[in-house]
Amino acid sequence: MPSQEQKQGGEKKAKKPPAAVRPSSSILLLSPTNQVLLLHRVQTSSSFASAHVFPGGNVSPFHDGALPAADTPALHEDGPAYRLAAIRETFEESGILLATKIGQTRDQGLLQVPDDVREAGRKQIHGNTVKFTEWLKSVGGEPDVENLLPFTRWITPHGPPKRFTTQMYLYLLPLSLPPTTSNLLQQPGNQALIPTPTHDGGVEHTAASFDDARTWLARAREGGIILFPPQFYLLHLVSQFLHPGDKEGLTAEGYHAQRVALLTFLARTPTSHVADDRAGTAAIPWSEKVISPSVMFVRRRDGRVVLGLDKPGPELKGSGRGGDWERVVLVHFGKGGPRDVEVRERGVVVGEEREDEDILPTTIMAPGVLSETPSTEETRGRIEVVSINGKKVDEAVNGANGEKPGELQTDEAQNEANGETKADEEASDAEAEPEDQTMKCEIKHLDSRYDENDARYFSERKTEVEKPNQKDWWRLFAFCMVRNYDSDNELEGTSLYVNPQPLRQLLFDVIGNYPGNPIDVDDVQIEAPYRSLFHYRKQLETVGLERFADDEESLEHLKLLLGWIKTHFELDIAAYERCTTQTPRVIAYDRLWTLFPPGTIAYCKLLSQNRAFRVNDTWYDYNELSPCMGLKSEFIDYDGDRLGTRLMELAIPKYQGTRELNELSTIPFDLLDDASDLREELLARGRKFETFIGQHFRQYDGIAIKKTPEGYARFTVKGRVMIDCKTYHRLEPNDMFHVKSLNDDSTKMERSRRRAQGHLTFATADGERKFDKLSDDNAMLTNATVRGYSFTGKRFMEFFVEDVAEIEWNTSCFDDLVLDAAIKKTVQALVSTHAQKRESFDDIVKGKGMGLVCVLHGPPGVGKTLTAETVAEFVKRPLYMVSSGDLGTNSADLDRNLTRIMDMTATWRAVLLIDEADVFLERRSLHDMHRNAMVSVFLRVLEYYSGILFLTTNRVTTFDDAFKSRIHIPIRYTDLSVDSRRQIWRNFCGMVPGGVDIDDKGLATLAETDLNGRQIKNAIKAAESLAAFDGVKLDLNQLLQITKIQAMFESDLTSLTGVDYTAPGASKKDADSRNMFL
| Interval 23-37: pLDDT, tens | 999 999 999 889 999
- pLDDT at 22 > cutoff 90: yes
Which pLDDT score is estimated for 505? Answer: 94
End-to-end CA distance of the chain: give it in Å, rounded. 109
Euclidean distance between CA atoms 882 and 904, whole angstroms: 13
Radius of gyration of the chain from its Cα atoms, rounded to whole angstroms: 38
Euclidean distance between CA atoms 649 and 636, whole angstroms: 14
Is 996 domain-assigned?
yes
Answer with the one of 386, 401, 416 that is the final residue of a domain: 401
Cβ 1059 vs Cβ 1067: under 8 Å: no
Which pLDDT score is estimated for 106? Answer: 84
Helix axis angle for 1000-1007 and 978-989, nearest 10°, is: 130
- Calculate the alpha carbon distances from 42 to 56, 125, 332, 395, 895 in Å: 15, 21, 22, 15, 42
- pLDDT at 404 > cutoff 80: no
* Range 121-138 average pLDDT: 92
Is 717 domain-assigned?
yes
- pLDDT tier, 646 (very low <50, low <70, confident <90, very high otherwise): very high
Considering the domain architecture, whether residues 830 and 775 belong to the same structural domain is answered as: no
Q: What are 799-854's pLDDT values in tens digits?
A: 999 999 999 988 777 777 777 788 888 887 888 777 666 445 455 444 555 778 88
Q: What are 267-290's pLDDT values in tens digits?
A: 888 887 654 545 578 889 999 999
Which pLDDT score is estimated for 669? Answer: 96
- pLDDT at 229 > cutoff 80: yes
Which pLDDT score is estimated for 462? Answer: 55
Considering the domain architecture, whether residues 765 and 832 belong to the same structural domain is answered as: no
- pLDDT at 46 > cutoff 90: no
Burial 26-62 (b: 16+ CB within 10 A, else e): bbbbbbbbbbbbbbbbbeebbbbbbbbbbbbbbbbee
Is 844 domain-assigned?
yes
Which pLDDT score is estimated for 593? Answer: 95
Which pLDDT score is estimated for 744? Answer: 59
Residue 439 DSSP label: P
Considering the domain architecture, whether residues 790 and 819 belong to the same structural domain is answered as: no
Beta strand ranges found along 516-594 (DSSP E): 524-527, 586-588
Which pLDDT score is estimated for 509? Answer: 93
* Range 127-133 average pLDDT: 92
**CATH number for the domain harbouring residue 989:** 1.10.8.60
Domain boundaries, position 523: 438-568
Q: What are 690-705's pLDDT values in tens digits?
A: 999 999 999 999 999 9
* Range 365-394 average pLDDT: 34
Answer with the one of 568, 599, 634 that is the final residue of a domain: 568
Which residue type occupies 536? Y
- Calculate the alpha carbon distances from 966 to 836, 855, 931, 956 in Å: 21, 10, 19, 14
Considering the domain architecture, whether residues 937 and 860 belong to the same structural domain is answered as: yes
Q: What are 574-630's pLDDT values in tens digits?
A: 999 999 998 899 999 999 999 999 999 999 999 999 999 999 999 888 877 889 999
756 or 239: which leads in pLDDT: 239
Beta strand ranges found along 190-319 (DSSP E): 205-211, 290-291, 294-298, 305-309
Is 586 domain-assigned?
no
Question: Chain-wide mean pLDDT for the chain?
Answer: 79
- pLDDT at 769 > cutoff 70: no
537 or 757: which leads in pLDDT: 537
576: how many CB neighbours lie within 10 A of its CB? 18
- pLDDT tier, 371 (very low <50, low <70, confident <90, very high otherwise): very low
Considering the domain architecture, whether residues 373 and 484 belong to the same structural domain is answered as: no
Model pTM?
Answer: 0.57
Euclidean distance between CA atoms 230 and 293, whole angstroms: 9
388 or 789: which leads in pLDDT: 789
- pLDDT at 988 > cutoff 60: yes
Euclidean distance between CA atoms 641 and 736, whole angstroms: 12
Alpha helices in 72-147 (DSSP H): 80-94, 115-126, 132-138
Which pLDDT score is estimated for 203? Answer: 56
- pLDDT at 535 > cutoff 80: yes
Q: What are 286-321's pLDDT values in tens digits?
A: 999 999 998 888 888 888 999 999 999 889 988 889
- pLDDT tier, 361 (very low <50, low <70, confident <90, very high otherwise): very low
Considering the domain architecture, whether residues 961 and 991 belong to the same structural domain is answered as: no
Is 608 domain-assigned?
no
- Calculate the alpha carbon distances from 215 to 243, 255, 345 in Å: 8, 17, 22
- pLDDT tier, 51 (very low <50, low <70, confident <90, very high otherwise): confident
Q: How many domains does the chain have?
A: 5
Considering the domain architecture, whether residues 731 and 870 belong to the same structural domain is answered as: no
Residue 35 DSSP label: -
Euclidean distance between CA atoms 354 and 45, whole angstroms: 40
397 or 206: which leads in pLDDT: 206
92 or 417: which leads in pLDDT: 92
Cβ 30 vs Cβ 205: under 8 Å: no
- pLDDT tier, 47 (very low <50, low <70, confident <90, very high otherwise): low
Q: What are 155-175's pLDDT values in tens digits?
A: 988 777 788 999 999 999 988
Is 491 domain-assigned?
yes
User: Is 133 strand, coil or helix?
Assistant: helix
Cβ 956 vs Cβ 963: under 8 Å: no
Considering the domain architecture, whether residues 132 and 256 belong to the same structural domain is answered as: yes
- pLDDT at 712 > cutoff 80: yes
- pLDDT tier, 184 (very low <50, low <70, confident <90, very high otherwise): very low
Which pLDDT score is estimated for 1015? Answer: 87
**CATH number for the domain harbouring residue 924:** 3.40.50.300
Is 462 domain-assigned?
yes
Answer with the one of 755, 782, 805 that is the final residue of a domain: 805
Which pLDDT score is estimated for 7? Answer: 38
H/E stretch holding 214 reads: helix 213-221
Which pLDDT score is estimated for 930? Answer: 77
Which pLDDT score is estimated for 626? Answer: 85
475 or 14: which leads in pLDDT: 475
Which pLDDT score is estimated for 659? Answer: 93
Euclidean distance between CA atoms 648 and 633, whole angstroms: 5
User: Is 147 strand, coil or helix?
Assistant: helix
Of these ranges, 258-262, 537-541, 751-755, 922-926, the one predicted with the greatest mean pLDDT is 537-541
Which pLDDT score is estimated for 600? Answer: 95
Which pLDDT score is estimated for 583? Answer: 87
18 or 1063: which leads in pLDDT: 18
Which pLDDT score is estimated for 197? Answer: 66
Considering the domain architecture, whether residues 898 and 993 belong to the same structural domain is answered as: no
Is 546 domain-assigned?
yes
Euclidean distance between CA atoms 155 and 363, whole angstroms: 27
Considering the domain architecture, whether residues 983 and 1042 belong to the same structural domain is answered as: yes
H/E stretch holding 446 reads: strand 440-450
Which residue type occupies 645? T
Considering the domain architecture, whether residues 393 and 461 belong to the same structural domain is answered as: no
Torsion of CA 664, 668, 674, 678, to 10 degrees: 110
Considering the domain architecture, whether residues 542 and 444 belong to the same structural domain is answered as: yes
Residue 743 DSSP label: G
* Alpha-carbon torsion (974, 978, 980, 986), positive or negative: positive
